[in-house]
Structure 1
Amino acid sequence: MKKLLVPLALALAAAAAHADGLQALEQFVKNARTGRADFTQVVTSPPREGQAARSKTSTGSFEFARPSRFRFDYRKPFQQTLVADGTTLWLYDADLNQVTARRQQSVLGSTPAALIAAAPDLEALRKDFELKAAPDRDGLQWVTATPRSREGQLTSVRVGFRGEALSVLEILDSFGQKSVMSFDKLQLNVPIPAGTFNFTVPKGADVLRQ
């Protein structure tokens, strides 16, 4: 009997220690109050008739301070900045010298950024997303988030964690376009200067308010 109990106890302990994607997301939202990372984003458009699927790769950096403040700086191949300051969501396109400003509360809820940076807790996320644990893949624990609102272009988001560390976002939109954002050099609960999330409209830039 003892020979049977020891392997069983070890198996149960291993299962308890192995968190699924939903548990990893809950711990990340609960414990990660600030963070920064580098990212690589690959956007793949669905193939057109007679053509192969096309992909575009971008790189940059990401910072956040929960709740509701984050910053994405795209550096290559084109410079773009996306900043949420708690009130307004700013998008700056350097090539166009154009800024788009939107009321943050009205556009942020059902977005991938809400999953990883903006929501204060899991219950807040559940108001905008249906959350389900997904099978492990590529050494990561996954959770699938489906927007409850069908009005936007977002179809689903899959978030991959390595333990409690955010690793990958897979985003699918209603046009069949897939965006995979991989995070590297993630640092959590580090000091982030308050001015990081301030946005000043560049001189001469056109500003579109929506």
Structure 2
Amino acid sequence: MLKKLYLVGGLLVALPGLVLANTQPLHSFIDHLKSYSAEFVQEREEDAFFRVERAKGTFDLDRPGKMRWDYHSPEEQHIIVDGSHLWVYDLELDQVSVRPIADIQGDIPLAWLLFDEPVEKAYRIIPAGNRNNMTWYNLQPRSATYFQSIEIGLRDGVMQEVWMYQSADNITKVKFKNIRLNEGVSPRAFQFTPPQGADVVGRM
């Protein structure tokens, strides 16, 4: 999910035991997740014109290390993590970008969910309260990345929304529906070969 995205910073003062209790639902969701498939609607505010840019598509994840993020409208684009590389195929430009995951793992907004390493290794977790019938958590990167933070909304222990903050007024909001949890995803979904004639940029 490399579209422009993120959360504003927060401040938490609490005993370690209280923090552990407050973050347990997020940890439980991550620990028990094997695969996740859903449709999504993505919205991003365009500050200059006070308009909302909206996109729709599908999302598939197979842990660890495989993800597919397909935009179906308004323009078709495919983002695929095959376990070792990240591929971005823009059909309008007929261009494929490819990068080794090792080079860009920290810049993948869903890296905290995609890989097996403890989420606290790369993020500080801050409980962000309840709203819209969801329990929210703020993930703040421990090292510099292009986004400031990420918010995750859980309902009944399942991820329903992800908000990604590049700044306080540059926020990409993703809402999932028709969620299928731990039903498995075909390995073919994460296989990608650049179409013949497409311009390929990057490195393997």
TM-score (norm 2): 0.84
Q: Does structure 2 conserve the Cα–Cα contact (< 8 Å) formed by 1:140 and 1:161?
A: yes
Identity %: 28
Query: How many residue pairs get matched?
Result: 183
- Equivalence for 1:43: 44
**Deviation digits for residues 68-122 of structure 1 (CA, Å, limit 9, x no counterpart):** 1000010000000000001000001000000110111221235321133x1215x
| SS of equivalent to 2:196 | coil
Write out the 4+ residue segments of structure 1 that deviate beyond 4 Å after TM superposition: none
TM-score normalized with structure 1 length? 0.82
Contact 1:153 1:174 in 2 (8 A): no
Change in CA separation of 1:24 and 1:111 when aligned onto 2, cut-off 3 Å: farther
Match of 1:137 in 2: 131
Give the Cα–Cα distance (whole angstroms) in 2 for the partners of residues 137 and 175 of structure 1.
18
Decide whether the 8 Å contact of 1:110 with 1:128 is kept in 2: no
Structure number with larger C-alpha Rg:
1
Distance 1:132 1:174 in 2: 17
**Residue 179 of structure 1: aligned partner:** 172
Contact 2:147 2:166 in 1 (8 A): yes
Q: Equivalent residue for 2:29?
A: 28
What per-residue deviation string (whole Å, max 9, x for no partner) do you get for residues 37-75 of structure 1?
A: 000000113x34xxx423210000000110110000100
CA contact (8 A) 2:107 2:146 kept: no
Residue of structure 2 in register with 1:6 after alignment: none
Partner of 1:76: 73
| Secondary structure in 2 matching 1:171 | strand
| Residue ranges of structure 1 left out of the alignment (5+ in a row) | 1-18
Alignment of 1:1-210 (within 5 A): 20=22, 22-45=23-46, 47-48=47-48, 52-116=49-113, 118-121=114-117, 123=118, 125-150=119-144, 152-174=145-167, 176-209=169-202
Q: Distance in 2 between matches of 1:143 and 1:108?
A: 21
Q: CA RMSD in A?
A: 1.6
CA contact (8 A) 2:34 2:184 kept: no
Partners of 1:112 and 1:172 lie apart in 2 by 10
Q: 1:65 and 1:109 mapped to 2: Cα distance?
A: 18
